[in-house]
Amino acid sequence: MPLPAHMTVGQGQLAIDSGFTVALEGYTEPRLERARDRFFGTLTRETGIPFNVTPQTHPATLVIRTGAASDPVQQLGEDESYHLEVTAKGAQLTAPNPLGILHGLQTFLQLVTVTPKGFVVPAVTIDDKPRFPWRGLMIDSGRHFQPIPVIERNLDGMEAVKMNVFHWHLSEDQGFRIESKTFPLLQEKGSNGLYYTQQQVKDILGYARDRGIRVVPEFDMPCHTTSWFVGYPDLASAPGPFQISDRWGVFDGAMDPTRESTYEFLDKFIGEMTALFPDAYFHVGGDECNGKEWSSSSRIQAWMKAHGVKNNAALQSLFTARVQKIVAAHHKIAEGWDEVLQPDTPRDVVIQSWRGPAGLAAAAKQGNRVLLSNGYYIDLNQPASYHYLTDPLGGDAATLTPEQKALVLGGEATMWSEFTTPEIIDSRIWPRTAAIAERLWSPQDVRDVDSMYARLAVVSDKLVFYGLTHQSYSWPMLQRMSGESDPHALAVLASVVQPPEGYEREDLKEYNTSSPLNHLVDAAHPESDTAREFGNLASLIATGKATPEQWQQARAWLTLWRDNDAKLELTLTNSDLTEELMPLSKNLSQASTIGLQALDDLENHHAADASTVQANLQFLKTAEKPVAVLISKVFPAVEVLVQASGSAH
Amino acid sequence: MPLPAHMTVGQGQLAIDSGFTVALEGYTEPRLERARDRFFGTLTRETGIPFNVTPQTHPATLVIRTGAASDPVQQLGEDESYHLEVTAKGAQLTAPNPLGILHGLQTFLQLVTVTPKGFVVPAVTIDDKPRFPWRGLMIDSGRHFQPIPVIERNLDGMEAVKMNVFHWHLSEDQGFRIESKTFPLLQEKGSNGLYYTQQQVKDILGYARDRGIRVVPEFDMPCHTTSWFVGYPDLASAPGPFQISDRWGVFDGAMDPTRESTYEFLDKFIGEMTALFPDAYFHVGGDECNGKEWSSSSRIQAWMKAHGVKNNAALQSLFTARVQKIVAAHHKIAEGWDEVLQPDTPRDVVIQSWRGPAGLAAAAKQGNRVLLSNGYYIDLNQPASYHYLTDPLGGDAATLTPEQKALVLGGEATMWSEFTTPEIIDSRIWPRTAAIAERLWSPQDVRDVDSMYARLAVVSDKLVFYGLTHQSYSWPMLQRMSGESDPHALAVLASVVQPPEGYEREDLKEYNTSSPLNHLVDAAHPESDTAREFGNLASLIATGKATPEQWQQARAWLTLWRDNDAKLELTLTNSDLTEELMPLSKNLSQASTIGLQALDDLENHHAADASTVQANLQFLKTAEKPVAVLISKVFPAVEVLVQASGSAH
């Protein structure tokens, strides 16, 4: 995952044992040597086999042949193709440049599997290249700071699924997260001490380049900028003093587009940052300006009148145009959220579409290049299948002309961090982002959801060996919540619940920057695999298509859940982090009792009594409402069984 | 854990919430500030609460008051005491120097617990100081190289349980693991590229000092030195050329004690290393010399004759004396394994006793200071209770005079690494080493094994929040072994098995440096908690002392194990890593059936038929023998039940 563009399965398999060796041929560079060493490290973690990592020459089990160097700064649209051929006797990986080699090594690692004869890679011939040249992951380091190890291991995850752009959201109302030497009060006053030094940033740039990943920094402006104003209040439209925001949401704070000093500041700042980040693209944000401070400032209103600027949208447009010129003067191409798209937006500006599919099509029609993020908001706890079926050329974009379609560069998963600490973040990104990675790499017609989920489970396990914590994070959180009680029964509850989708969480409970994210809603995965699989079983049973094993599995789960509440009850009262879960646990138990009755009725071809069905459905509808900021998709699945049992015959 | 020297529990509890603050008063230094920051980091991981980490002044929730600086290089026997007072209103931690503060902070972190009112620390007054001044952990980086992150997180674990000496075993037959600038072929030819640079070592020294931990390097000589000879064959007694050993065991290779050039080399080398490591002590090994190369060299034999050296022991003694003089000339105190103790060994040499309790007493009687490691060999998979009850002043040492007892400095857990990769090592060290830490810190009469195991379980969970992988390592290994099958049934098997104790593993199967440690024996914990607890239940049931809940728990486990084999059978055949487990799984199932029958008989006061009892006991005796290099203590526990059922009435 992502599935290759072309693949032919051959005969036999290549053994991976301690005699496995790798040789580099053709063009070489230290990055390729590091890639080989990293490959061995991952292969050892996958298999537990220690390899001889001293450099080999031909013959070797895996021979890597690189055509030539890639660009000194990785470019959008560079050739990323590779050819991988595995037989029972050995393997050959060839690519025009190191980028393809990096991708091919990841394919090889994914092919490793255990058999009765040991670890092997099946014989296969692969010709592979990406569908889209821009396959990104955005991490918001502004709202919750994400330390360097978090960034590094997620870059490892990106490499594993062949994503090639790390979009680094570095400033927010709640924190300015990078050291500026020109304007040091940005980080000194604009953060709680948690920011990246320029040396750390340089290390990350090298780390990313080693993995075939470009790094595009974002400095969101003119809004989402409260943290800038703490140290530099003259940038703001309203009078200071300012404090870093400690709440979530959209704030009124906005840079002052009417003062020349704003642009002088930005010119110096962007000059410093464009010198630090080598990528050709530079993201200037531009989202969610409500314009209230502009409207309430008589000075700004007077300026607008004097300059014939008729409304706030026009004022922002004017600001954006100036910033784009500054960016261009520093030899970079500006990128912005879809609010920056205006009729006069320069053609080279790249639009990142987040508000809806219409925005993407509009940008392409206007001749701008564009990325899709709407549908890839992984912070919203939507199922992998939803992200997977969201296609950059689907929806409104399907009607674009071929020329307009060519302007669609790809997409980016966006990890906004209101509800994401370093402890939790991997679980919010992985494994679902691998489904987005496949959408952006593999041919458009690769769309089988069942196949995706089956492969996603395998990739998820593989990602553990890259150091990602998306599986391991949960258990210590459950231990913490349980104190000295055994957390196993809590884990059963955790396995069937998930956070609500979309923005509902903030409506259910008030959160701010110091809210501990240590409840079950934080320890639960964004998508409950168990609940989804149970839902599939319920549908099969209801439509008479379930096998005996599937019946048995459904019964086993319902029995487990029914009996879990009794085991859990005492534990839950021990801790203020779990007391809130008691009604949820009881609902699950009762719903499971109802589900088991429905299974009995269905099995016995006994149509359930209509009033009982009605009462049960009513209970289930109530149980579907969030409790302790959690929902469970088990309840609607039991509904399916109850509905079916009502019409059993 | 370790239990404090004096503790009085008070009334009420101190709330730990996001308003919790810390102030440093009295003497301060950057190390204390870092300790405070690290304390907050751990407290956040323990609780999930984000704290305000900006420096506070009085008043704060926890006020830390330090008397004065500690020594610039941490000394053996420095004051490590502290006083901690917690009330419902706040906490005070005072200590004469930073070492006590470091320890007191760890005590505070261990006291944090979750309640229906949130996280709290119970009101308590603690006056604490260690029983022994030398509480060490040795890690063998020679046989399996252990990367820097492994060392760092284990130093974190040592800090958590107040251990204060990291003994770093840096050279072995299988690898020379530190950069020498004077003799670069040591690491270049004497390792497979895996060694620590001097900069990395310096970083570790700072990391350890920050945690109140001394670092004592060990360069084992004159034997266990094959890796030295690859680059510098003239050091050896036999003619070269040499290769790094790729097998385990005791080798014949030994330095040549008869050439002056050997001592010239060692003087330069020890000069370089004593300049790098600031600690006053320097370990020169000295263990396991079989003397074969000395006996077989006519040149050495002639030299011995000419110099009146009557046997190999005397020759080694002569070597040791020279090396000790070199060490002393570089202003360090030599330490050695108990083989170095000879009648004329200088009084300041510290002896590390590994062969048996007699060695410790002998050294103290001779007037040498001594450390106990016999009984603390954590690589031998012995139960925590065994280590816990091994006292440096127990056994032969109990009869020492008070003056001789004062020469016993403490002890060291030793983590030899034949069967320990970076993936596994934490599980071999933790949590059992916490029991040794308590032995060395707490009063001698703290010896309740049940209390120790109960607290060890809590500490084990806490250590997860220090980044140790002793709990999390197992699941990915089971996933790897299972391929795409669900590893849950394999985890059930894993929970009741353990590696054999002592040196039996090498007798059961041949291993070398490239043997993958990826089997169930590697994924299983060194001591099965489940099997131990089941053993306790079986004893209680057999003696008629079990509660109904304990009967129920025993039945539940036996039922789970009986039924597990059917679930596991198919999975096991999928992978060559698990096929070998089939007989073990079957034995467990059959033993559980036997155990359930015994429970029925006991419950029904029905004396089991003698011939059935005999047949069952015979089966269980057979099942106790290792399968796939694993044993299970469930089998002897079932025997206890069967024995009891044979005499039920």
Q: Which two tokens stand for residue A403?
A: 């020329």
* pLDDT of B59 strictly over 60: yes
Put simply, whether A549 touches B (Cβ < 8 Å) is: no
Hey, are the CB atoms on A192 and B480 less than 8 Å from each other? no
Hey, are the CB atoms on A114 and B516 less than 8 Å from each other? no
Hey, are the CB atoms on B574 and A118 less than 8 Å from each other? no
Put simply, whether A398 touches B (Cβ < 8 Å) is: no
Residue A649: pLDDT band with limits 50, 70, 90: low
Measured between CA atoms, how close is B482 to chain A, in angstroms? 8
Measured between CA atoms, how close is A15 to chain B, in angstroms? 12
Residue A58: pLDDT band with limits 50, 70, 90: low
Contact at 8 Å (CB) between A407 and A115? Answer: no
pLDDT of residue A648: 56
pLDDT of residue A374: 95
For residue range A435-478, what is the model confidence (pLDDT) as tens digits?
Answer: 999 999 999 999 999 999 999 999 999 999 999 999 999 999 99
CA-only gyration radius of chain A, Å: 27
Burial of A610 (0-12, 13-18, 19+ CB in 10 A): exposed
Mutate to test the interface with A, among B461, B486, B533 (most CBs of A within 10 A): B461
Mutate to test the interface with A, among B16, B473, B518, B570 (most CBs of A within 10 A): B518
Contact at 8 Å (CB) between A48 and B422? Answer: no
- For A112, name the nearest residue in chain B, comparing CA atoms only: B483
Q: Which residue did the predictor score with more confidence, A52 or B565?
A: B565
Contacts of B513 in chain A (CB under 8 A): 50
Cα distance between residue B559 and residue B565, in whole Å: 11
Put simply, whether B612 touches A (Cβ < 8 Å) is: no
Mean pLDDT of chain A: 96
pLDDT of residue B58: 67
Hey, are the CB atoms on B480 and A48 less than 8 Å from each other? yes
pLDDT of residue B649: 54
Q: Any idea which residue has 């709440």 for tokens?
A: A247
* Strand bridging mode B22-26 / A281-283: unpaired
Hey, are the CB atoms on B115 and A575 less than 8 Å from each other? yes
Measured between CA atoms, how close is B529 to chain A, in angstroms? 13
Measured between CA atoms, how close is A48 to chain B, in angstroms? 5
Put simply, whether A485 touches B (Cβ < 8 Å) is: no
Of B368, B328, B332, the closest CA to residue B350 belongs to B368
Which element (helix H / strand E) includes A370? strand A370-372
Mean pLDDT of chain B: 96
Looking at the predicted complex, does its ipTM rise above 0.85? yes
Put simply, whether A149 touches B (Cβ < 8 Å) is: no
Which element (helix H / strand E) includes B312? helix B312-329
For residue range A475-523, what is the model confidence (pLDDT) as tens digits?
Answer: 999 999 998 889 999 999 999 999 999 999 999 999 999 999 999 999 9
Put simply, whether B477 touches A (Cβ < 8 Å) is: yes
Hey, are the CB atoms on B518 and A49 less than 8 Å from each other? yes
- For chain B, the 3-state helix, strand and coil shares in percent, each to the nearest 5, are 45, 15, 40
Q: How many CB pairs (< 8 A) connect A and B?
A: 118
Measured between CA atoms, how close is A585 to chain B, in angstroms? 17
- For A192, name the nearest residue in chain B, comparing CA atoms only: B54
Hey, are the CB atoms on A54 and B116 less than 8 Å from each other? no
Hey, are the CB atoms on A50 and B421 less than 8 Å from each other? yes
Contacts of B514 in chain A (CB under 8 A): 18, 50, 52
Q: Which two tokens stand for residue B163?
A: 């251990």
Task: Please name the residues between 358 and 397 in chain A that touch chain B, using a CB distance below 8 Å.
Answer: none
Q: In sequence order, what are the residues at sequence separation of 6 or more whose Cβ sits closer than 8 angstroms to the Cβ of residue A473?
A: A423, A424, A426, A427, A523
Before A431, cis peptide (omega within 30)? yes
Measured between CA atoms, how close is B122 to chain A, in angstroms? 14
- Find the range with the poorest average confidence among A33-37, A163-167, B210-214, B338-342: B338-342
Hey, are the CB atoms on B577 and A114 less than 8 Å from each other? yes
Task: Please name the residues between 23 and 62 in chain A that touch chain B, using a CB distance below 8 Å.
Answer: 45-50, 52-54
Put simply, whether B193 touches A (Cβ < 8 Å) is: yes
Residue B54: pLDDT band with limits 50, 70, 90: confident
Of A55, A126, A49, A121, the closest CA to residue A85 belongs to A126
For residue range A123-152, what is the model confidence (pLDDT) as tens digits?
Answer: 999 999 999 999 999 999 999 999 999 999
For residue range B463-486, what is the model confidence (pLDDT) as tens digits?
Answer: 999 999 999 999 999 999 998 889
Q: What is the DSSP string of A315-347?
A: HHHHHHHHHHHHHHHTT-EEEEEGGG--TT--T
For residue range B292-337, what is the model confidence (pLDDT) as tens digits?
Answer: 999 999 999 999 999 999 999 999 999 999 999 999 999 999 999 9
Put simply, whether A243 touches B (Cβ < 8 Å) is: no
Q: Which two tokens stand for residue B214?
A: 């001394």
pLDDT of residue B188: 96
Put simply, whether B241 touches A (Cβ < 8 Å) is: no
The Cα-based distances of A313 to A28, A113, A257 in angstroms read 51, 56, 12
* pLDDT of A87 strictly over 90: yes
Measured between CA atoms, how close is A606 to chain B, in angstroms? 32
Contacts of B114 in chain A (CB under 8 A): 480-483, 574-577
Per-residue pLDDT averaged across B217-237, rounded?
97
pLDDT of residue B212: 98
- For A53, name the nearest residue in chain B, comparing CA atoms only: B192
Residue type, A493: L
- For B454, name the nearest residue in chain A, comparing CA atoms only: A484
Residue B570: pLDDT band with limits 50, 70, 90: confident
CA of residue B602 relative to chain centroid, distance:
41
Put simply, whether B423 touches A (Cβ < 8 Å) is: yes
Residue B62's SS3 state is strand
* Strand bridging mode A118-128 / A82-86: antiparallel
Hey, are the CB atoms on B513 and A50 less than 8 Å from each other? yes
Task: Please name the residues between 519 and 538 in chain B that touch chain A, using a CB distance below 8 Å.
Answer: 522
Put simply, whether B549 touches A (Cβ < 8 Å) is: no
* Phi, then psi, of A471 in degrees rounded to 5: -100, -40
Angle, CA B116 vertex, CA B110 and CA B121 arms, to 5°: 25
Catalytic residue among A78, A85, A272, A288: A288
Put simply, whether A483 touches B (Cβ < 8 Å) is: yes
Put simply, whether A147 touches B (Cβ < 8 Å) is: no
Residue B438's SS3 state is helix
Give me the percent of chain B exceeding a pLDDT of 90: 94
- The model carries a pTM of 0.94
Hey, are the CB atoms on A49 and B516 less than 8 Å from each other? yes
Choose among A54, A457, A480: nearest Cβ to B47: A480
CA terminus-to-terminus distance, chain A: 44
Contacts of A577 in chain B (CB under 8 A): 114, 118
Give me the percent of chain B exceeding a pLDDT of 70: 99
Q: Which two tokens stand for residue B477?
A: 């290994």
pLDDT of residue A571: 87
Hey, are the CB atoms on A575 and B461 less than 8 Å from each other? no
Residue B648: pLDDT band with limits 50, 70, 90: low
Is B288 among the residues known to form the active site?
Answer: yes
Measured between CA atoms, how close is A476 to chain B, in angstroms? 7
- For B464, name the nearest residue in chain A, comparing CA atoms only: A476
Cα distance between residue A246 and residue A226, in whole Å: 11
Measured between CA atoms, how close is A158 to chain B, in angstroms? 20
